[in-house]
Amino acid sequence: MEQTIIKVGGMSCQGCVKNVTGVLQALPGVAAVDVSLEAGEARVRHDPAQSDVAALKAAIEDAGFDAT
């Protein structure tokens, strides 16, 4: 497992946090997700062989947020 921290832009409420958490948890190989509205980031523990950083960022962007 690997931990990745992704900056997430465009979140303004706890509903946004739940949305980002949900799309990340739905990806294969994702073991844990912690999204912080205050820090504007998502910490994801995942298997990079199943979901790499590009896939994590794509899921966030597909949900309507900015991922860097």
Q: Using one digit for the tens of pLDDT, what is the confidence trace for 17-66?
A: 999 999 999 999 999 999 999 999 999 999 999 999 999 999 999 999 99
Q: Where are the domains of the chain?
A: 2-67
Which DSSP string corresponds to the chain? -EEEEEEEES--SHHHHHHHHHHHHTSTTEEEEEEETTTTEEEEEE-TTTS-HHHHHHHHHHTT-EE-
pTM of the model: 0.95
Residue pair 56/6 in contact by the 8 Å Cβ criterion:
yes
Domain 2-67 sits in CATH at 3.30.70.100
